[in-house]
Structure 1
Amino acid sequence: MKFDEIKEKLLQYKAGGKKIFTTSSFQSHSLVLLHIISRIDPEIPVYFINTGFLFPETIQFKDQIAKEFGLNIIDAKSTIPKAQQKDANGNFLFTSDPDYCCFLNKVQPLDSVLADNDVWINGVRADQSAVRKAMDIEQAAPHNVIRFHPMLDWSKQEIYKYIKDYKLPRHPLEAKGYDSIGCEPCTRKMVLGDERSARWFGMKKTECGLNTDLVVKKDK
Structure 2
Amino acid sequence: MKGNEDAGVVDPPHMQRARIRAEELTNRYADLDTFAFLEAMIVETFCGRIALTSSFGAEAAVLLHHVAQIDPAIPVLFLDTGKLFGETLRYRDALTKQLGLTDVRSIKPDPARVDSLDTDGVLWYGNPEMCCYIRKVEPLQRALEGFESWITGRKRYHGGERGALPRVEATDDGRYRINPLVSWTREDIEAYRERHALPPHPLEEQGFLSIGCMPCTDRVAPGEDLRAGRWRGQAKTECGIHLSAKRWRTIGID
Do these two structures clear the TM 0.5 threshold for a shared fold by scoring above it? yes
User: Does residue 86 in structure 1 map to residue 121 in structure 2?
Assistant: no
1:178 paired with 2:216, answer no
Q: Contact (CA 8 Å) 2:150, 2:176: kept in 1 or not?
A: yes
Q: Which moved more, 1:76-85 or 1:148-157?
A: 76-85
Q: Does 1:202 align with 2:233?
A: yes
Contact 1:125–1:151 under 8 Å retained in 2: yes
Answer whether contact 1:140 1:215 (CA < 8 A) is retained: no
- Deviation of the 1:138 alpha carbon: 0.8
Tell me if structure 1 keeps the 8 A contact 2:51–2:77. Answer: yes
Counterpart of 2:38, as a letter, is I
Distance across 1 between alignment mates of 2:229 and 2:78: 21
Q: Which has the larger radius of gyration?
A: 2
Give the drift of 1:182: 0.6
* Partner of residue 166, structure 1: 196
Q: Name the count of aligned residue pairs.
A: 212
Matched, 1:2 2:34: yes
Question: Within the alignment, does 1:193 sit opposite 2:224 as a pair?
Answer: yes
What displacement does 1:59 show?
0.4
- The aligned counterpart of 2:81 is 51
Alignment correspondent of 2:175: 145
Of 104, 109, 113, the match for 2:143? 113
- Aligned residues: CA RMSD: 1.9
Whole-angstrom CA distance in 2 between matches of 1:166 and 1:214? 38
Question: Paired residue for 1:155?
Answer: 185
- Pick one of 122, 132, 145 that aligns with 1:102: 132
Q: Does residue 77 in structure 1 map to residue 88 in structure 2? A: no
Using the aligned pairs only, state the percent identity: 34
Q: Which runs of 5+ in 2 are unaligned?
A: 1-32, 248-254
Match of 2:157 in 1: 127
User: Counterpart in 2 of 1:211?
Assistant: 242
- Whether 2:40 is the aligned partner of 1:11: answer no
**Partner Cα distance (2:45, 2:246) in 1:** 19
2: CA distance, partners of 1:91 / 1:114: 26
Q: 2:252 matched to which residue of 1?
A: none
Kept in 2, the 8 Å contact 1:85–1:92? The answer is: no
- Give distance in 2, aligned partners of 1:137 and 1:27: 21
> For residues 7-48 of structure 1, what are the alpha-carbon distances to aligned partners after superposition, in whole Å with 9 as ceiling and x for unaligned?
23322224xx55110111112311100000001101101011
Q: TM-score, normalised by structure 1?
A: 0.89
CA contact (8 A) 1:80 1:104 kept: no
Secondary structure at 2:161 match in 1? helix
C-alpha distance 91-5 of structure 1, shift in aligned 2 (>3 A): closer
TM-score under structure 2 normalisation? 0.78
Pair 1:79–1:98, CA change in 2 (3 A): same
Cα displacement string for residues 54-112 of structure 1 (whole angstroms, at most 9, x for unaligned residues): 0001001100011111112001111035443338xx56210011011000001000011
